[in-house]
Chains A and B, each alone.
Chain A
Amino acid sequence: MALRAKPAISWLVAIAVMAALPHWLNAYWLHILATSWYYAILAVSWALLAGFAGQFSFAHMAFAAIGGYTSGLLAVDLHLPVPLGILCGVASAALVGAAIGWLCLRLRGPYLSLFTLAFALILQLIIIAEYQFTRGSLGLSVPGLFGGNSDLPYYYAGFVLVLASLAIMGALLRSRVGLFLRALREDEDAAEASAIDTSYYRILVFTITSAFAGLAGGYYGHYVGILSPNIVTIPEMGLVVAMAVVGGIENLPGAAIGAIFVFVASEALRSGGQLRFVALGLVIMLTQRFAQNGLVVLAAARLARATRRRAPSPKTATG
């Protein structure tokens, strides 16, 4: 019982700390954290797609752009309320995600990655070329989700979205769907022979993770107030992959923490100029070499071991 209660307590403490954190933050760091929620949702959903279902897609930022631009254009051109626009963005990202998932059914490994990368680049070019709708490289100004100039409501809204995303995707992984997705990652032919409709689950995981990317895009657009084709660039996609890898590609909370860590670290090291990217690159290389499950998982395992050593659990704890 005590063992089961520990993760719940850790979660509650983490939530309480993050909820209280804005009291100690200046406006700049509040903005950094509010922006990091966007990356956290992207890293978590990409970890579900790549780490658990084995689908290494590079179209994730494209789905964020679809969510963001759909919501932004509906708000600008049709004056739709922002929350409704975000929901439409989520729906359109899910719909395109389902179509891409269907198109990629026969593609594996590097072929899937190349296909999705090409899709992202095409979408970026469309956003630039269709400037009469999207304002192209100038960027599309979109209304905010909340009135006023404070970042505080966005901090809490983004935080709730990250928690909700973790809860929904975590529940999915604990269900039979999670089991099927992991089976699909391990061996697709064996999964088929085990009565799993792998086509259905591949499309399903693409749809769900694209919807979350669309949600992230909607939140980001209405927070920063401007959307540009830069969100679909390869470096942005690389950043999300790095966040998931550093945090733990097979651990959803790890991917979220990885996203916040990488984004905050890159801002904290801003004075180092381009050298900060060298430092981050080294961290990613070392993570890949020495902690394939991510730094967060490694740190949590070390912490658990140290705690056990310091206070050996009584016999009753397991009995």
Chain B
Amino acid sequence: MLLSAESVTKRFGGIRAVDDLTLTVEKGELVGLIGPNGSGKTTLINLMSGALVPDGGHVRIDGISMSGKAPHVFARSGVGRTFQIPRLFRRMSVLENLITPALALKRTYSRVEAEHKAHQVLAFLRLTHVAALEARALSGGQQKLLELGRALMLEPRLLLLDEPFAGVHPKLLDQVAERIEELSRTGYAIVLVDHNLDAVRGLVRRLVVMARGRTIADGAPDEVLRSVDVIEAYTGR
């Protein structure tokens, strides 16, 4: 198992955003994580990437506890992530956004090597034509792709993608989905978070549904979406 969250709990004041939740991700797996707004999906991603420290339970990578470790340690252990609202280095060029994580990851990497790798990632994401632009000049969809590229520069084994389709122009939606599918085929483990069922169900082979900080279903998409609990969570009935 690549990453496991074991009985993790995170409280904000009196609210349990994540409540005694257990989730494992295997190597090369593409997992969809869905749930209504406020169900704790982003909190779970933050716990799995070190941005938040759990109040209870453990997050392990390759069986090693990551308790109390900073996010950069998670990143160096092979966890790449994107944010719900893209958080780019806005006044740095697209190319600089990409070479920064590569240079932070490997001290032996030269700038030329990092730029060579960045150009490969830009070609993969169809962003070569904007390489010299400042990141803030990109459209919403291009910013999502650039953030994905920045995570890929870490040579991750697990990608945590927080709502990669949100705010993306319909014309770019297919491109984002295609890139994610291709990454999955090449062996990346991916956790794909979205509250939009339709965007996720066609892509993933395993679907995890969260509600009120807990998992209420975990399995094949069609099976999960027939579950009474899931229907109740989404419709409130």
Chain A residues packing against B (C-beta within 8 Å): 176, 179-180, 182-183, 186-187, 189-199
B87 within 8 A of A: yes
Q: Is there an interface contact between A195 and B72, defined as CB atoms closer than 8 Å?
A: yes
Describe A's contact surface by its main secondary structure.
helix
A231 to B39, CA, bound (A): 55
Q: A186-B90, A193-B81 are in contact. Are A179 and B103 (CB under 8 A)?
A: yes
Pick from A176, A194, A196: contact of B111, CB below 8 A. A176
Residues of B within 8 A of A192 (CB): 50-51, 70-72, 75
Number of residues of chain B lying within 8 A (CB) of chain A: 29
Q: Which B44-96 residues have C-beta < 8 A from chain A?
A: 49-51, 70-72, 75-76, 80-81, 83, 87-92, 96
Given contacts A186-B89, A194-B72, 6 further A-B pairs with CB under 8 A are A176-B103, A186-B92, A189-B83, A192-B70, A195-B101, A196-B100
Partner-A contacts on B (CB < 8 A):
49-51, 70-72, 75-76, 80-81, 83, 87-92, 96, 99-101, 103-105, 111, 150-151, 153-154
CA distance A104 to B172 in the complex (A): 42
Q: Which residues in A have their C-beta under 8 angstroms from that of B92?
A: 179, 182-183, 186
Q: Which residue of A lies closest to B151 (CB)?
A: A193
State the CA gap A197–B69 with chains docked (Å): 11
A179-B99, A189-B71, A190-B83 known; A196-B104 Cβ under 8 A: yes
Contact present for A183 and B71 (CB under 8 Å): no
Q: Please tell me if the beta carbons of A187 and B89 are within 8 angstroms of each other in the complex.
A: yes
Cβ distance B57 to chain A, nearest Cβ, rounded Å? 21
Most B C-beta atoms less than 10 A away, residue of A183, A191, A195, A196: A195
| Contact A183/B76 with A193-B81, A195-B104 known, Cβ cut-off 8 Å | no
Cα–Cα, bound, A199→B70 (Å): 10
> Complex Cα distance A180/B105, Å?
11
Q: Could you list 14 examples of A-B contacts with CB < 8 Å?
A: A179-B99, A182-B96, A186-B88, A186-B90, A190-B89, A192-B51, A193-B72, A193-B75, A193-B87, A194-B72, A194-B101, A194-B154, A195-B75, A197-B70
Nearest Cβ distance between residue B94 and chain A, in whole angstroms?
13
Known contacts A189-B51, A189-B71, A199-B70; A194/B88 CB under 8 A? no
Question: In the bound complex, what is the Cα–Cα distance between A194 and B100 (angstroms)?
Answer: 7
User: Which residues of chain B are near A176, meaning CB under 8 Å?
Assistant: 103-104, 111
CA distance A186 to B150 in the complex (A): 15
Closest chain-A Cβ to B188's Cβ sits at a distance in Å of 16
Quick one: which of A183, A193, A197 contacts B49, CB cutoff 8 A? A193
Report chain B residues within 8 Å CB of A195. Answer: 72, 75-76, 101, 104-105, 154
Contact B100 A187 (CB under 8 A): no
- Nearest-neighbor residue (CB-CB) of A197 within chain B: B72
Most interface-central of A190, A192, A199 (chain B CB within 10 A): A190
